[in-house]
Structure 1
């Protein structure tokens, strides 16, 4: 631990999950900010946070805060992150990082200009089982990589006013759910060279189901499926010429996996032992990066985050989804 003081910007469900894991890891949470002072005070009382602020501006101006976790709905990410950066705070921005690539690049460039950390809160990449999977791949255990497949499918409310269905809030399966398997495919195979996407849209015009087929460097292939209308297996696999990795449900949370040979002999089994939800690992990584002078994040570089937002832009272009702020 580096002694960084965290500020929590917004008090929704994801902010509760993250702050709970910060406390589990023994990290310092100095302040919380909400547009409602009552909400901020209730949040602060629950997690024993010293300072509660009734606006985001007050939070980022708090001298006791070093790094801000951005937990607002997607359309607010860019303005909230830029506000924190303007006040000299590092930022960990909840995924999806922004609504689109242009907004992501704006955050990246603002952070670089001030020598501050801007990092996407893609917590899955920092989980112990994912760290071990990258070690196995790097060791050549799987041989030549051929295919990655993953799904993120959940049954969520069909109410048009629900956040996941409201285009004005960046609603749809892609940004909330599809970001996980797409980022996973990029993590394993690199950025795609070709993208094909299909979708079924809701009556509100948001994407209820999205499927992608992508070709990555060297001709490797990935497939992803996301849905907000039905709960699927939520598993993933990486297939190589010498072995495959099968990640159990729910693959993007602390879970188990197997390394299986073509003969179906299991060469390795891994089971996660994680306290809490596991969101503390990304926070610990952010603290290490700040302590190292905001060096390059080898798990998820900011340039890769920006590029992944470009992949999501292309998927949306192909399926015909445009957010109101982009028109």
Structure 2
């Protein structure tokens, strides 16, 4: 489903802010041609198509999924709708790149990967950080023993957003909360370097209406015994830094989730700065991974396989269980959380 030059025809499902960011990346991707957009209403779809000069717009998602001139769909809707919209596209014969987190829970992720397997189509969670040039280089350094045996990892991602209970970040019915929106970045980083993770403990702080978490801190243990301290916050700015510490030094990555530079500290040596600038805004690299895998006939990416997405969803399920966080279906109103000594 690519032309002779390996170009994929993309459809964009959803017209929110993340869809616009992804379009910036696609514009810098030689293997991408965006042919259509779909939204909940014709007006939204038409405006998005006009903004980006797209040839076609669809006023509903089913029409986009059925478009014969679309090979792969980027699902950019809020978290609770990743599952149904991905199933819609897979069953229509489209490849799918679905925004992270892949779904609301591990059960939904399992259903999505089963549908991809049944349809014979490619499916990947859009964990874009993993494909950035800087993280490729940092991974090489760690694998080559630049800091010795990896013993511990810390990562935080916090933003000071204005509190609005109707905003997606704070609305439980829209999959809100710091953990699912921001915490997936530190979790995915830890999983990549530490292997299969066990959640040792978790604490959280609730929003003023007690509907979602605005801060979550997690202690994890990797398969080899290394420890990870991970945190996320939606009402509190944090440095956004990751540190990988080993037996012979450490690597520090400022703003790791969109990193372009890192500093390598080898014991007994001067610090070494590593720079890997982005070609556009970083989303171009995950789009290129989709094209590479589809051209090779791969159903999943070796760098973020289905098993990894299921692992990450299982971790967030476990962390929510520890913090007493329960998400209702989007058709059922969420209720405030009870008092907890972990607040």
The TM-score range, normalised by the shorter chain, is over 0.9
Contact persistence 1:146–1:241 (CA under 8 A): yes
For residues 66 and 240 of structure 2, the distance between their equivalents in structure 1, rounded to whole angstroms, comes to 41
For residues 148 and 315 of structure 1, the distance between their equivalents in structure 2, rounded to whole angstroms, comes to 18
Contact persistence 1:166–1:204 (CA under 8 A): no
Aligned residue in 2 for 1:12: 16
2:203 aligned residue (194, 198, 202): 198
Is 1:217 the counterpart of 2:223? The answer is: yes
Aligned residue in 2 for 1:105: 110
For residues 140 and 182 of structure 2, the distance between their equivalents in structure 1, rounded to whole angstroms, comes to 26
For residues 212 and 55 of structure 1, the distance between their equivalents in structure 2, rounded to whole angstroms, comes to 39
Aligned residue in 2 for 1:150: 155
- The one-character-per-residue Cα deviations of 1:93-137 (angstroms, maximum 9, x if unpaired) are 001110000001111110011111110001000000011111111
Aligned residue in 2 for 1:22: 26
Is 1:276 the counterpart of 2:249? The answer is: no
- Determine helix, strand or coil for the equivalent of 2:257: coil
1:228 aligned residue (227, 234, 253): 234
In structure 1, stretches of 5+ residues that fail to align are none
Deviation at 1:206, TM superposition (A): 0.4
RMSD between superposed Cα atoms in Å: 1.4
- Please give the residue correspondences for 1:158-169 in structure 2 after superposition, counting only pairs within 5 Å: 158-169=163-174
- Please give the residue correspondences for 1:55-66 in structure 2 after superposition, counting only pairs within 5 Å: 55-66=60-71
Deviation at 1:290, TM superposition (A): 0.5
Aligned residue in 1 for 2:85: 80
For residues 233 and 24 of structure 1, the distance between their equivalents in structure 2, rounded to whole angstroms, comes to 29
TM-score (norm 1): 0.96
- Please give the residue correspondences for 1:101-140 in structure 2 after superposition, counting only pairs within 5 Å: 101-140=106-145
Aligned residue in 1 for 2:340: none
Contact persistence 2:156–2:240 (CA under 8 A): yes
For residues 168 and 4 of structure 1, the distance between their equivalents in structure 2, rounded to whole angstroms, comes to 34
For residues 241 and 185 of structure 1, the distance between their equivalents in structure 2, rounded to whole angstroms, comes to 17
Aligned residue in 1 for 2:188: 183
TM-score (norm 2): 0.92
Is 1:303 the counterpart of 2:311? The answer is: no
Aligned residue in 2 for 1:242: 248
- Determine helix, strand or coil for the equivalent of 2:12: strand
For residues 119 and 296 of structure 1, the distance between their equivalents in structure 2, rounded to whole angstroms, comes to 6
For residues 259 and 233 of structure 2, the distance between their equivalents in structure 1, rounded to whole angstroms, comes to 21
Select between 75-84 and 198-207 the one with higher mean Cα deviation.
198-207
For residues 269 and 175 of structure 2, the distance between their equivalents in structure 1, rounded to whole angstroms, comes to 42
- Determine helix, strand or coil for the equivalent of 1:218: coil
For residues 143 and 233 of structure 2, the distance between their equivalents in structure 1, rounded to whole angstroms, comes to 31
Is 1:31 the counterpart of 2:36? The answer is: yes
1:322 aligned residue (326, 334, 339): 326
For residues 199 and 233 of structure 2, the distance between their equivalents in structure 1, rounded to whole angstroms, comes to 22
Deviation at 1:242, TM superposition (A): 1.1
Aligned residue in 2 for 1:259: 264
- Determine helix, strand or coil for the equivalent of 1:226: strand
Aligned residue in 2 for 1:292: 296
For residues 320 and 295 of structure 1, the distance between their equivalents in structure 2, rounded to whole angstroms, comes to 35
